[in-house]
Amino acid sequence: MRDYWNLVVDVWQHGFLGIDISSIVLAAAILLAAVVVRRLFSHFVLHQLRFWTRRSRSRLDDMAIEALEPPIRFIPFVIAFYLITLMVGGDAETAHVLAQINRSLIILVIFWVLFQLVSPVATILDGTAHLFTKAMIQWIVKAGRLLFVALGAATILEVWGIEVGPILAGLGLFGVAVALGAQDLFKNLISGMFIIAERRFVDGDWIKVDGVVEGMVESIGFRTTRVRQFDKAPVFVPNSKLADDAVINFSQMTYRRISWIVRVEYRTTVDQLKTICDGIRTFLENDDDFVKPPEAALFVRVDSFNHSSIDIMIYCFTRSIVWGEWLESKERLACTIKETVEGAGAAFALPSRSLYVERLPEGAEAFLPPSA
């Protein structure tokens, strides 16, 4: 039993990688304590930061504090791992590896903080709508975050003695080879930059590209733009399609047009035509939902003599470009037209065709109405 006890003591002292089991158990307890105090620690730090920024009227500091919550909650694990390395010790090689891990964790927290602060800092650009659109700001945020991720990864690699320069050179050669086969990718990327720079459309705009897509823009990505069709199906359109083709942006309309042809019967008199035109024009001029000249054109005129009708052209614009409000205005105009035409004693013309038969072929049987 003495030999067995000595074996147990030897296993306990050497444990795993020369670290005794008591140190491993204590390390596990420290990590568990870090998990327990993580929320309390972050709450205390955030509470103190909010106390310092409470006098400020700007929302920037409040957004920054909210963005810093994830890295702050990770700090107890970093401190716990540092305490574990002090307690564990071990040989020189193990101590060196643990020290490198500590440096890597500190670098991770620093660049994580910078990564999280990109979005709040970018809100400063919200007040410069004449220079930066919302999509452009989103691209700046993505580029800034990507930059900090790359710098953080490069810094950690340097800590572990890995030279970044040769890796970048190798990636450059690899990138040339990839670029030859990824021309469409770079074309879409450049097209997306032109779309944002030219402000063809922004998030929330209603656009139409003939033969491609029609719907509401949800986001402009690096390679594709997500457009939500009116049937609620998302369409991911390559940016090159939106940069090379003609894009109709309905959301940038100043007013929305109504262009109709109202057809009345040929038996309508001149006085009735004038009454109809005057009544419709009076409605359009007195209704605030419709634009008055000289802001926009407004016409209610007898246009032409059609095959089976006299055509009256109605050409006007609504102030609202919202589809639902435009439909409501158009409906009221349609009801007014019907009331005006019927009130003048006229009637709408239906498409008709008259056939005149001079004589029937011999032997043909004619079916005539009883009155004939």
Least confident of 239-248, 282-291, 338-347: 239-248
Q: Which pLDDT score is estimated for 89?
A: 61
Tokens describing residue 101 = 């891990």
Rounded mean pLDDT, 147-167 = 81
Q: Which residues make Cβ contacts (< 8 Å) with residue 162, sequence separation at least 6?
A: none
Residues 169-195: tens digit of each pLDDT: 655 655 555 555 566 777 777 888 778
Domain ranges for the chain: 2-168, 184-251, 253-343
Strand order in the sheet with 248-249: 234-238, 224-228, 213-220, 206-209, 248-249
Is the pLDDT at 139 greater than 90, yes or no?
A: no
* Position 217 confidence tier, pLDDT thresholds 50, 70, 90: very high
In whole angstroms, give the CA distance from residue 46 to residue 218: 34
Rounded mean pLDDT, 230-247 = 89
Residues 25-39: tens digit of each pLDDT: 777 787 788 777 777
In whole angstroms, give the CA distance from residue 107 to residue 101: 10
Q: Look at the block and give the residue holding tokens 């109405």.
A: 369
Can you name the CATH fold of 253-343? Alpha-Beta Plaits (3.30.70)
Q: Is domain 184-251 classified as CATH 2.60.40.10?
A: no
Q: Do residues 238 and 184 touch, judged by C-beta distance below 8 A?
A: yes
